[in-house]
A and B are shown apart, each in its own frame.
Chain A
Amino acid sequence: MTTTSKNKILDTILSQVSGKPSFMDMRNSSIESLQRTGLPAIKDEEYKFTSITKKLENSISDFSVAKKTNLDSDLVKSHVFEGFEGDLVVFNNGFFETELSSLSNKGYVLSLISESNPKLLGKIAFSEKDPFVALNNISFEDGIYIKVPKNQKVEKPIMFFFLNQSNEGQVIQPRILIEVEDNAEVTFLEDSISLDDNVYFSNTVTEIKVGQNSQVHYNRLQNEGKNAISVNNTETDIHRDAVFTSVVISLSGDMVRNNLSLNLLDSGCEGNMYGLYLLNGKTHVDNHTNVDHTKPHAQSNELYKGVLADSSRGVFNGKIFVRQDAQKTNAFQQNNNILLSEDAIVNTKPQLEIWADDVKCSHGCTTGQLDEEALFYLRARGLGKEQAKGMLLYAFTGEVMDHIADEAFQNHIVSIVQNRLGSNF
């Protein structure tokens, strides 16, 4: 079963590669790697609770790459959230649209990967990381490369704006490579919009290098259509004394898988990961995070929270590796879940692997429901049941949303969440 469909997906993809001679080394080694591993089956430990391959087999009828769809600047503008100030990088079914984007190019350089041929491509997100990285390596058509030079602070946030719609083919494979040199600072926002409710499969790979003493803040909102299937691999290399912060807010979609991996390569670096999944319907969101402490005196913080209604499913797997050299590491991880319905499922696996002795590592994980006494307290003060519930859930989710870097983006997300909580999902 798996073998045939593996071949089906692979065959389609391989037939498309032949026409594109660029990055052949990377593509060839990824083809080898993917032929060896295949797409993940349910037996694979990493995809134990998320049968993404099966989902793809059942939902996607056309594995060819989606063509660009018809967009105009008014349409784009209508989807950008209110109060946005910054640079807009528009992707049309994964293809960068120069005309529709608005770029100040202040403090950074943006180019097409095919034009600039960056050396770093595929070096942070290499095929062995995940089968879907290999898939993207093999078949992405083009992507963008952003370079923030030394000692630059990019004042305004840069937003990656994905507009997706299945259009003669259902596979969308965006590729982003970000290289932040030493002593620089930049904030990225990411928003994905489904233009209709049709099925598509988006397989994004984002590679980020955070140079010495730099600060990068990456904020991602996932609020796609109810049939969207999306896999995101975000791979980061963090260098000495640098700080990288990621916030991922997942609100909808059919099946969403996020692999976030932070490689803390030197001492003094800091990695922060915040995540919120607020789900209803049949949405299935899977967050796999991986922090690798390789050198002493680094720290990582992680907080993921989930609220699950209807027959939604939340999966969390947080791995913390502390290598032998990484003495004096501080690593903290927490995952809290609230189940609101009998059909909702939570699978969580907070995982610690430690080879150094002088470290402080802890993880905590809870699954429960709203505190009856807190509810009673609010109701005794005249709040309706739904209102009280919404208020408590908002307080629960707020802890994650507080970490969103851009104020306008934060307001936008808060208002969506409040609407959802107010209407009781």
Chain B
Amino acid sequence: MSKDNKILEELTSKDYEHGWSVNLEADEAPIGLNEDIIRWISAKKEEPEWLLEWRLKAFNNWLTMTEPVWANVHYPKIDLQGLRYYSAPKKSNKPKSLDEIDPELLQIYERLGINLNEQKRLQGIAVDAVLDSVSVGTTFKETLSKLGIIFCSFSEAVHEHPELVKKYLGSVVPMTDNYYAALNSAVFSDGSFCYIPSGVRCPMELSTYFRINAANTGQFERTLIVADEGSYVSYLEGCTAPKRDENQLHAAVVEIYAAKNAEVKYSTVQNWYPGDKSGKGGIYNFVTKRGICAGDHSKISWTQVETGSAVTWKYPSCILKGDYSIGEFYSVAVTNNYQQADTGTKMIHIGKNTRSRIVSKGISAGKSQNSYRGQVQVMKRASNARNFSQCDSLLMGDRCGAHTFPYIDIQNPTAKVEHEATTSKIGEDQLFYCNQRGISTEDAVALIVNGYAKEVLNQLPMEFAVEAQKLLALTLEGSVG
């Protein structure tokens, strides 16, 4: 037992690897939130009138809303007036090519292991990196544009493809959707926009990397992915933030639109700064992610590995509107120390013969609280809908908690819905078995946990799977209580 405690101690005292910040000169909005700030942001980004109006409308809606309290997370009230809503690294005036990007910025991404340089060609990933609020540079733009694929920062899309942005912005997550989505709609700074034209299979993984660098800023990025008829795209998102004592807010919105026969695969590895071991600091991650399978035979698949953030509040959902459409959700959520996660999914079956699958694996250690909250809804006309949900929890240590809140609402007699959940710890017999065969306790735990999460990790693209496995091992080695 003492050995376990030692390992646990080592682990919990392990520092956050990405906890460094670089002194970049930043172009910042004044602190506070009001209509003027929104006008300021919009003017800064040279946005068209209709977008400013949209933002103001969202802001006015937001004013009438109240912060949601139903989630199983506890945190002090956030002073939204004490935040800075726009922060841009100063020297980023529309780089034409990578050579023009501030070398210091590139260095940041290199330290993160995100290499914007042509090395990425070998890995075949196109990256759109977002630092604080501004999209820094997009790789592989030309290769993609030959196929008609648009992959650029959101602000660029607003200028160059206003008709597409106008059509799809807010179509999946309306500005009135919830408190944080409304806030995001009002103040969103940048993000990625991606459009895959009809019949195109995107030849590479598209990727966005988010990082919060400046202090006292909220990051409000907005991602919009539109997959036209018969197209396919796999999209990756990664996040980190430097260590800071105060809590930082991250309220993003991701919208996915899948037309007939289209398929979108969205993978996230979230590693925001979780706070130190006494629960101080860390990111509040309040994210709205939703996809709509608008056309028949379309498919949206969410895969997430959540290891960071002090508080996570995130429910990537699928609206299965088209007949024969498919929604998938694979999640591994790890919490340690004082982290709190309330995450899960919503599968809303509207079309006929729609199918959904939910696999959620929660791992809680330290003094953390990990909740799965999911909803499977089968509407009246959704004949032959099929759902299978599995949500397992693994507890390490006797100070943590695992909670499951699945809502299952069925209005059609032909639906087949199954939900299954288990809670357990790593068995002493399992550890003993490994030890007996010469595997150390630490390695045994990593082995067992990797096996436990395998079903989800298998869904990740290669490059991400490696990172995710490393993250898991880092958080879990020896955490057996």
- Interface residues of A, Cβ cutoff 8 Å to B: 45, 324, 327, 337, 339-342, 344-369
Contact = CB atoms under 8 A, between A and B. Distances in A.
A339 B404 contact: no
Contact of A345 (B404, B411, B417): B411
Contacts of A327: 398
B141 interface: no
A361 B413 contact: no
A346 B407 CA distance: 10
B106 interface: no
Given A352-B404, A363-B421, A357 B396 contact: yes
B402 A352 contact: yes
A347 B423 CA distance: 23
A351 B420 CA distance: 11
B123 interface: no
A337 B398 contact: no
B416 interface: yes
B425 A358 contact: yes
29 contacts: A337-B410, A339-B412, A339-B413, A342-B412, A345-B410, A346-B408, A346-B410, A347-B408, A348-B407, A349-B405, A350-B419, A351-B406, A352-B402, A352-B404, A353-B401, A354-B401, A354-B403, A356-B395, A357-B397, A358-B398, A359-B395, A359-B423, A361-B423, A362-B422, A364-B421, A365-B417, A365-B418, A366-B418, A368-B416
A361 B481 contact: no
B424 A359 contact: yes
Contact of B481 (A350, A355, A357, A359): A357
B117 to A, nearest CB: 46
Contact of B403 (A340, A352, A362, A369): A352
Nearest to B419: A365
B395 A354 contact: yes
Given A347-B409, A352-B421, A362-B423, A357 B404 contact: no
A349 B413 contact: no
Could you say which of B396, B414, B420 has the most chain A C-beta atoms within 10 Å of its C-beta?
Answer: B420
Nearest to A347: B409
Contacts of B406: 349-351, 365
B415 interface: yes
Given A341-B413, A366-B419, A369-B414, A349 B408 contact: yes
B129 interface: no
B393 interface: yes
A415 B422 CA distance: 36
B251 interface: no
A260 B404 CA distance: 20
5 A-B pairs closest in CB distance = A339-B413, A357-B395, A365-B419, A352-B404, A361-B423
B356 to A, nearest CB: 13
A115 B437 CA distance: 70
Contacts of A341: 413
B75 interface: no
Given A352-B423, A353-B403, 13 more contacts: A45-B70, A345-B409, A346-B408, A348-B408, A349-B405, A354-B401, A354-B403, A355-B398, A357-B395, A362-B423, A366-B416, A366-B419, A368-B416
Contacts of A45: 70
Contacts of A337: 410
Could you say which of A45, A340, A355 has the most chain B C-beta atoms within 10 Å of its C-beta?
Answer: A355
Nearest to B72: A353
A140 to B, nearest CB: 33
B91 interface: no
B408 A369 contact: no
B400 interface: yes
Interface in B365-415: 380, 393, 395-415
Contacts of B412: 339, 342
A324 B398 contact: yes
Contacts of B421: 350, 352, 362-364
Nearest to A351: B405
B432 to A, nearest CB: 15
A349 B398 contact: no
Nearest to A340: B413
A365 B358 CA distance: 14
Contacts of A340: 413
Nearest to A341: B413
B425 A369 contact: no
A342 B380 CA distance: 7
Contacts of B400: 355, 357
B418 to A, nearest CB: 5
A353 B406 CA distance: 12
A342 B402 contact: no
A357 B425 contact: yes
Contacts of B415: 339, 367-368
Contacts of B418: 364-366, 368
Contacts of A353: 401-404
B411 to A, nearest CB: 5
B423 A354 contact: yes
B404 A363 contact: yes
B410 A354 contact: no
B417 A368 contact: yes
Could you say which of B400, B401, B414 has the most chain A C-beta atoms within 10 Å of its C-beta?
Answer: B401
Contacts of B425: 357-359
A315 B414 CA distance: 18
Nearest to B387: A367
B336 to A, nearest CB: 14
Given A327-B398, A354-B401, A369 B409 contact: no
Nearest to A345: B411
Interface in B442-469: none
Could you say which of A339, A360, A367 has the most chain B C-beta atoms within 10 Å of its C-beta?
Answer: A367
A358 B399 CA distance: 11
A244 to B, nearest CB: 23
Contacts of A344: 411, 413
Contact of A367 (B70, B403, B417): B417
Contacts of A365: 406, 408, 417-420
Contacts of B402: 352-354
A105 to B, nearest CB: 46
Contacts of B416: 366-369
Nearest to A317: B407
A395 to B, nearest CB: 19
B225 to A, nearest CB: 31
Contact of B393 (A339, A345, A354): A354
B422 A349 contact: no
Contacts of B405: 349, 351
A369 B418 CA distance: 12
Contacts of B413: 339-342, 344, 369
Nearest to B392: A362
Contacts of B422: 361-362
Nearest to B404: A352
B396 to A, nearest CB: 7
A369 B419 CA distance: 15
A365 to B, nearest CB: 4
Given A45-B70, A339-B415, A364 B395 contact: no
